[in-house]
Amino acid sequence: MDTQEEDWKHVGFALVVAMDENGGIGFQGGLPWPWLEEDMRRFRMLTEGSVVVMGRKTYLSIPKRNRPLKNRLNVVLTRSGDHPAMRDELGGGEGGELVLAESLAKVEEIVERNGERKKVFVIGGGEIFKMALENPKWSTRVYLTTVHEKFESDVFFPKDCLRNEFDESMLSNRMREKDLEFSFSELRRRSSPMSPNHGESQYLNLIKEIIEHGNRKGDRTGTGTRSIFGAQMRFDLRESFPILTTRRVFWRGVVEELLWFIKGSTNAQDLRDKDIHIWDGNGSRSFLDAMGFTEREEWDLGPVYGFQWRHFGAEYHGMHADYSGQVRCLSFDHPRRRSLSNCFVGSRSASAGYRYNQDESQRPQNNIDGLESKRLAKDGTTALSFNVSVLCQRRRALLPNVPAFVRYGARSPLQHCLLFTSYLHGCQGVWASAWRFCSYSWRRSRI
C-alpha cells in the first residue's frame, strides 16, 4: 500500500469546495464566476478514480455531455430514491457510473460494496455540504478553492464551520486566470492528526497572518514582499522538532545528514552508501577538479559543517585522517566559561581559521585571535547566526550570568539545535535549555 492510500485509510471522507469571499458557491444553477481551468484541473486530479457524492441540483449543473463524471463513481443524493423517473430526469452521456441514494448512510453501504475506490469526495451543493460538516466522519478534510472577489450568489457554503472546527494545513500562492485571483488551501478537522495544538500549525498560522495582513513592499525583482514585525514562534523540543514547511520532507535524508554532521564526517560516500545524495554535487570528481581541489579524493568534501562542529581549529588532512585529541576544550573542560565555535554557509568559508585563546584573565571578546567585528568569513557569505548568553556547566547548574559568545552558521533551526546540543552533551537539561538560549538573539546578518 503506497503512502497516499495509507494516508486515506485514516482520513475518511473529504469535501471539495470552491467559494468566493462571501462563501457563495452557486448562482442560478451554475458557478457565480467564470469557469477556471486551473481549478477544474485540480478537481480532476483529486477526484478521478474515486467516489464523488453530490445533490441532484449539483449533478444537473454539470453539462449533459460530461455527466456522469468520467472515471468516477457518481453518487447522487435524492429524497426520491432510485427509480426510473428520477434516472430519466438525471440522464447523461457515456460517462462514469451513476448510483442514486437516499441518505449518507446509504452512500456508506455503496462505498463498502465498491471496495476498490477508497477515496470519497463530497462536491456539493449547499445542503449536502451542511450534512457532511455535521458528521465529522464525512468531513475530515476540506480541499478549498477561494476566489478572492465577491459575486452575486444564491447558494452558500457554511464557512463559519471551517473557522471554528478546522485548521489550515496548506495554502498556495494566489493565481490569476480570466482577471480573477484565486488560491487553493487544504483544511483538516481538529480531531484529525493535524490537531490545533500541533506545533507546526504556528508556522501555518503565521504564514496566513503575513499573507492577509502583512505590509506590502516592492523589490528589484518586481515580485514584492509581505512582512509583519516582531512575530514569534515557540516550540517544545522535549518530544519533537518542528519542520517548518508545507512541502513533503525527505525525513530519512534529514536525519542521516544531521547524524553525519554530528559524527564529524566529510566523506560524501558515507551518505551515498545509504542512498542519500544531498552532497553528490559537491564531491564529484568533476566538481572538485573544477574548484581546484585536485589533490582530494572523490567525495572528500573538505572541512565542511561536520568537521567544524567536531574539530574546529584542527588542520584538515583529508576525510580519512584521525582528528582525535586535537580539540579538547569542548570535550573535556566543561567548566571553562569561554568557547567559540563557528560553522559557515558557503563553499570557501568553512575554515576561516579563528583560534581560541585559553587565557581566562582576558575579556571574552579578546579571547579570539583574528576575530573582527561583523566579519567571520572573507567572502561576504550571508549566514543565519545567533548569540548565546551562556555556554557553561558548573556541576548541575547552567549559570545565566556568565558571559560567553557562540556563533554558528547553519541551514535550519533543527541543525542549530543539534549542533548546540552536540557541544553541550555534558550539561543537564540541555534539550529544554537549547531553544531558550537560542531565542535570546536569532538574527540574519551579513558577515
Give pLDDT, residue 236: 72
Name the DSSP letter for residue 174: P
Query: Where are the chain's structural domains?
Result: 3-198, 302-446
Q: What is the CATH number of domain 3-198?
A: 3.40.430.10
More confident residue, 54 or 224: 54
The whole-angstrom separation of Cα 25 and Cα 16 is 11
More confident residue, 197 or 427: 197
The whole-angstrom separation of Cα 249 and Cα 253 is 9
- How far lies 418's CA from each of 188, 258, 262, 403, in Å? 31, 8, 8, 22
Read off the pLDDT of residues 175-231 as tens digits, 9 standing for 90 and up: 999 999 999 999 988 764 444 456 677 788 888 888 878 888 888 887 888 888 888
Banded pLDDT at 269 (limits 50, 70, 90)? very high
CA angle 227, 233, 237 (to 5 degrees): 150
Place of cell 549542533: 419
Evaluate whether 145 touches 170 at the Cβ level (below 8 Å).
no
The H or E element containing residue 141 is: strand 141-147
Name the DSSP letter for residue 27: B
Q: Strand ranges (DSSP E) for 213-314?
A: 215-217, 225-227
Give pLDDT, residue 327: 62
Give pLDDT, residue 371: 37
The residue count for the chain: 447
The whole-angstrom separation of Cα 228 and Cα 301 is 39
Candidate from 76-80, 144-148, 331-335 with smallest mean pLDDT: 331-335
The whole-angstrom separation of Cα 227 and Cα 216 is 7
Which of 76, 127, 69, 129 shows the shortest CA–CA distance to 100? 76
Whether the predicted model's global pTM rises above the 0.95 cut: no
Candidate from 29-33, 108-112, 202-206, 326-330 with smallest mean pLDDT: 326-330
Report residue 258 as a C-alpha cell: 544531521
Report residue 109 as a C-alpha cell: 453501504
Burial 41-71 (b: 16+ CB within 10 A, else e): ebbeebbeebbbbbbbbbbbbbeeeebbbee
Q: Are strands 355-356 and 368-369 parallel, antiparallel or unpaired?
A: antiparallel
Burial 131-157 (b: 16+ CB within 10 A, else e): bbbeeeebbbbbbbbbbeeebebebbb
What is the average per-residue pLDDT within 399-417?
A: 38
Read off the pLDDT of residues 366-403 as tens digits, 9 standing for 90 and up: 544 433 333 333 333 333 333 332 333 332 333 333 33
Report residue 134 as a C-alpha cell: 455535521
More confident residue, 411 or 134: 134
The H or E element containing residue 183 is: strand 180-189
Angle (deg, nearest 10), helices 251-263 and 413-423: 30
CA angle 139, 140, 143 (to 5 degrees): 80
Place of cell 462514469: 96
User: Which three-class secondary structure string do you get for 330-367?
Assistant: HHHCCCCCCCCCCCCCCCCCCCCCCEECCCCCCCHHHH
Is pLDDT of 446 > 60? no
Is pLDDT of 37 > 90? yes
